[in-house]
Amino acid sequence: MCGIIGYTGYSQARGILLKGLKTLEYRGYDSAGIAVYHPDFNETLVTKCEGRVEKLMDKCSDVRGTAGIGHTRWATHGGVCDANSHPHKFGNVTLVHNGIIENYAAITNQLGITKKLKSQTDSEVVAALIDTYYHGDPKEAIIRAVKELSGTFGLAIMFDDIPNQLFAVRNVSPIICCQNDDGAYIASDIMAIGEYSENYFVLPELTIAHITKESIDVTDFKGNPVEPKMLTLDWDIKNSGKKGYPFYMEKEIMEQPEVITKTIESRIKDGKPDFSGEQVDDSIFTECDNITVIACGTAMHAGLIGKHIIEKICGVPVTVNMASEYMYNEPIINERTLVICVSQSGETIDTLEALKYARKRGARSLSIVNVKGSTIARESENVIYTNAGPEIAVASTKAYTTQVAVFYLICAKMAYLRGKLDEAQTADFMEELAKIPAAVQNVLDRRDEVHHLSNGLLTAEHTFMIGRGLDYPTLLEASLKLKEISYIHSEAFASGELKHGTIALITDQTPVIALLTQDFLMSKQVSNIREVQSRGANVLTFIKESLVSDHVHTSFTLPALQDDFMAIPAIIAMQLLAYYVSSDKGLDVDKPRNLAKVVTVE
Ligand code: M6R
């Protein structure tokens, strides 16, 4: 989950490392640190501290040198404190690590270094292991050491006696490399170094990068040169700041009409969905008997929307699996199973491992991913990229709605190819899909109304969200949004299920949010609202315009689309609700406590 960065070149490293760490901070913000080779002292000097990069900056004013590495941490092994912050130095070796080393305790015993360690981290042990094997040949030492590691790692390594050169190696955890006339750069994520070059590559797993001012040479563990595949950055990194918004989350919410349009438009040809741009073969949609969606958190909620529409329109059974549980539940998979992985980052380890597991058992695979060239994208047989652009706020918004948009496209494609929708019906479906951005804009234009409603949640400790049919998965996502950024306990329920136990928790202190967008479920949902109102709950109702009636009070009117397309306009209102509660509580909306944007630990 951590972010790592490295630079060697002709400029001072400090500014480049700190700027990169600021960008990487969304991957973890428990502590930060840099190590820079100081020519006067002939060694790599470490500056690090618990807390955010901002705090580190204050401690770094004296740092000099043109080569260094940096790290921003999401704590796994060892608490949040200065000593456990990276970089770690042991003997001649200084390193930063992203990942988890599972056998670090055994290695500690094997080396007999318990008393020498300064931290409780698994990462310091790796520094010690490389140092132990280092007798003048850095690559040999690194290879020997990493062969003994079990777990995941992205490592950037410096040796005191090899000035101004870096080494990098990885297993699972990503490392991106690029260079320009001013030097060479590595990072966990292209966002941190994309401003230096639009051409970059992802370091292949189990290869070593030797990074100097002028070159990045990659070799395999036998010493053979490796030519990594070059990628071109198509995100406008220079334009990726907050653009005047107080938080990235607000900016990203507001970008949704544009990015949903981008995701859909390029994939419509002659009124039909078209994946020829990404070379996704039609057979993937026709030669499967069932679909297994694998994802985590918000991405999994996108899968639940996909399940709803694909089962309804295509008649193909879809199971949606939490990636972290998938392979432990003896899933039924065969070559007629289509696995769809959904991931913004493309690096979520649970999703990645589940994908590998399913592919090994013969499943075909398609991934819906936002970050180009990410590990899940590369491990999948087929990829459809969401065109959401960089999503920085930990709480996912535009990545979610573009994932759902891709599910609509997949659904239409599958339905057409299987004869479930004819030409005219497919055109109607696509026409309704094309109306989504305007509906989203409509909700955004009335965000002040949502802001006003959010006042009702500011002092709540618990809330419930109730809905039926497609509204239920939408509320699962709405509930997650509210929980993660406002710290209000929230639970989403299929409205009819409440009375089987949970309704016991409803009091006049538990605001309830009710969503009503599905025509045929309206009367039942109104009854469920009455049930909670009778127990004293204050209910905020978000109702599709065409369903507004005298039978139930409307708190917020959602623009009307056909039922199956309401998932996106509805979640926009919920994202805004969560956002306003969090910002009005004075919380750090973009970096909620205990979380990180990219989850690379199981
Ligand atoms: O990068 P991914 O989409 O694979 O991440 C999966 C989840 O960690 C992520 O969706 C998480 O639930 C959201 N950031 C919550 O807003």
Predicted confidence (pLDDT) per residue in 49-105, tens digit: 999 999 999 999 999 999 999 999 988 888 999 999 999 999 999 999 999 999 999
Active site residue 177: no
| b/e per residue 49-71 (b: at least 16 CB within 10 A) | bbebbeebbeebeebebbbbbbb
pLDDT greater than 90 at residue 595: no
Average pLDDT (414-420) is 97
Phi and psi (nearest 5°) for 552?
Answer: -145, 140
Ligand 1 closest atom vs CA 300: 10
Q: Which pLDDT value is given to residue 239?
A: 61
Pairing mode, strands 512-516 and 93-101: unpaired
- Whether 174 lines ligand 1, by a CB cut-off of 6 Å, is no
Nearest CA to ligand 1 atom 10: 298
In the predicted structure, residue 32 carries a pLDDT above the cut 80 = yes
Per residue in 391-407, pLDDT (tens digit) is 999 999 999 999 999 99
Mutate to test the pocket of ligand 1, among 252, 396, 477, 479 (most ligand atoms within 8 A of CB): 396
Ligand 1 pocket check: which of 320, 322, 326, 343 to mutate, most ligand atoms within 8 Å of Cβ? Answer: 343
Return the pLDDT at 1: 74
Instruction: Give the pLDDT confidence score for residue 210 in this predicted structure.
Output: 98
Region 33-56: what's the mean pLDDT? Answer: 94
Query: Does the beta carbon of 370 sit less than 6 angstroms from any atom of ligand 1?
Result: no
What pLDDT band is residue 372 in, cutting at 50, 70 and 90?
Answer: confident
pLDDT at 596: 81
Percent of the chain with pLDDT over 70: 99
CA gap 288, 233 in Å, rounded: 34
Of the candidates 89, 398, 481, 597, the residue annotated as catalytic is 597
| pLDDT at 388 (0 to 100) | 95
Q: Are 91 and 131 in contact (CB under 8 A)?
A: yes
Phi, psi of 94 (to 5 degrees): -125, 135
- Across the beta sheet with 230-232, the strand order is 43-50, 31-38, 67-73, 3-9, 183-187, 176-180, 199-202, 230-232
Q: Which of 22-26, 217-221, 464-468, 478-482 has the weakest average pLDDT?
A: 22-26
Question: Cα of 189 to ligand 1 centre, how many Å?
Answer: 16
Residue with CA nearest ligand 1 atom 7: 297
Is residue 457 lining ligand 1, measured as CB closer than 6 Å? Answer: no
pLDDT of residue 233 exceeding 90, the answer is no
Residue 218 CA, ligand 1 centroid: distance in Å: 31
pLDDT at 151 over 80: yes
Residue of 26, 248, 298 best suited for mutating to test ligand 1, as the one with most atoms within 8 Å of CB: 298
Q: Which of 468, 543, 461 is nearest to 508 (CA)?
A: 461
The percent of the chain in helix, strand and coil, each rounded to the nearest 5, is: 40, 25, 35
| Catalytic (active site) residue 2 | yes
pLDDT above 90: residue 431: yes
Question: What torsion, rounded to 10 degrees, do the Cα atoms 429, 466, 308, 581 define?
Answer: 70
- Which residue has its alpha carbon closest to ligand 1 atom 4? 343
Give, rounded to a whole angstrom, the gap between the first and last alpha carbons of the chain: 10
CA 52 to ligand 1 centroid distance, Å? 22
pLDDT above 70: residue 120 = yes
- Nearest alpha carbon to residue 359 among 383, 335, 378: 335
Whether pLDDT at 240 is above 90: no
Mean pLDDT of 38-47: 92
Residue 237 — very low, low, confident or very high, per pLDDT cuts 50/70/90? Answer: low
Atom of ligand 1 nearest to the CA of 481: 16
pLDDT digit string, tens, across residues 254-289: 999 999 999 999 999 999 999 999 999 999 999 999
pLDDT value, residue 602: 77
- Spacing, Cα 24 to ligand 1 middle (Å): 16
What is residue 597's predicted lDDT score, i.e. its pLDDT? Answer: 83
* Structure-block tokens of residue 36: 């820079």
What per-residue confidence (pLDDT) applies to 238? 62
Partnered with residue 292 across adjacent β-strands are: 319, 339
Cα 157 to ligand 1 centroid, rounded to whole Å: 29
3-class SS of residue 78: coil
Confidence grade of residue 601 (pLDDT, cut at 50, 70, 90): confident
Q: List, in order, residues 6 or more apart from 220 with CB less than 8 Å away.
A: 206, 207, 208, 226
Give tens-digit pLDDT for 166-184.
999 999 889 999 999 999 9
Over the stretch 312-347, which tens digit does the pLDDT of each residue have? 999 999 999 999 999 998 899 988 999 999 999 999
Answer yes or no: is the C-beta of 394 below 6 A from any ligand 1 atom.
yes
The reply to whether ligand 1 has any atom less than 6 angstroms from the CB of 297 is: yes
Residue nearest to atom 6 of ligand 1 (CA): 296
Ligand 1 pocket test, candidate residues 247, 326, 342, 345, most atoms within 8 A of CB = 345
Query: Using one digit for the tens of pLDDT, what is the confidence trace for 107-119?
Result: 999 999 999 999 9
